[in-house]
Amino acid sequence: MSVGDRNDPVLGYNFAITLQDSSTAVATIAISLNLAPQAGFSECSGLEMMMTPEEYKQGGQNNTVLKFPSRVSWSNLKLRRGIAVSNDLWEWFYSFVEGHGKRRDGIISLRNDQQEPIRVWKFVRGLPIKYTGPSMNAGQSQVAIEEIEIAHEGLKMLSATGGKLVEAVANIVGAIQSL
């Protein structure tokens, strides 16, 4: 294997996030991979799920506890970004305070250096549950950061085989239709 043929791990700094109303058509969501992200985020965490097994203590077998799969739970997503001119995250959260908020689906795309998606996650029916404004300190010259925490009702991971956008879009459409 020559040096040019190696497959290095994908770096975690190159990603895009798109949020859309949960009522949006499947085709529009799939096409959104071609568009620039709606908001540039500097950090994304919470792409995790967990299944706690159900335990069954069978009578007469004191040396083992049987374990069976149970429901899966997903962690909340936390998205952080520098304060921008747009106040779209605040407006999304505050629309629920006023009683007319709409849930959003989202696509998180991890990309290689050529901006091709390598791994794509799709979450459904996102609900903003926490908004955090920037910490301000006149003695420091740091970027003002805002954060939004999103609870959701499901997460799917799709592999964009070989970093090909067309395959990623086909995979996303199939996965959305199966949700």
Q: Specify if 4 maps to a domain.
A: no
- % of the chain exceeding 90 in pLDDT: 34
Q: Specify if 51 maps to a domain.
A: no
* pLDDT score, position 86: 79
* pLDDT score, position 82: 83
Q: Which domain holds residue 29?
A: 11-46+61-178
- Say which residue the tokens 């568009």 belong to: 35
* pLDDT score, position 32: 46
- Of the candidates 95, 103, 139, 148, the residue with the CA atom closest to the CA atom of residue 123: 103
Burial of 122 (0-12, 13-18, 19+ CB in 10 A): buried
Q: Specify if 107 maps to a domain.
A: yes
CATH of the domain at 136: 2.30.110.20
Q: Specify if 54 maps to a domain.
A: no
Q: Specify if 1 maps to a domain.
A: no
Largest CA distance in the chain: 68
d(CA 168, CA 179): 17
Number of structural domains the chain divides into: 1
* pLDDT score, position 170: 53
What mean pLDDT value characterizes the chain? 79
* pLDDT score, position 78: 94
Predicted structure pTM score: 0.75
State pLDDT tens for residues 76-109.
999 988 887 778 888 999 999 999 999 999 888 8
Report the range out of 8-12, 61-65, 108-112, 157-161 with the highest average pLDDT. Answer: 61-65
Secondary structure element (H or E) that encloses residue 168, with its range:
helix 165-178
Give the list of residues 6+ apart from residue 149 with CB closer than 8 angstroms, or none: 46, 76, 77, 78, 79, 128, 129, 130, 131, 132
- Output DSSP code: residue 156: E
Q: Specify if 78 maps to a domain.
A: yes
Cβ-contact 175, 39 below 8 angstroms: no
- Of the candidates 74, 106, 104, the residue with the CA atom closest to the CA atom of residue 172: 106
Q: Specify if 41 maps to a domain.
A: yes
Q: Specify if 85 maps to a domain.
A: yes
pLDDT band at 2 (very low <50, low <70, confident <90, very high): low
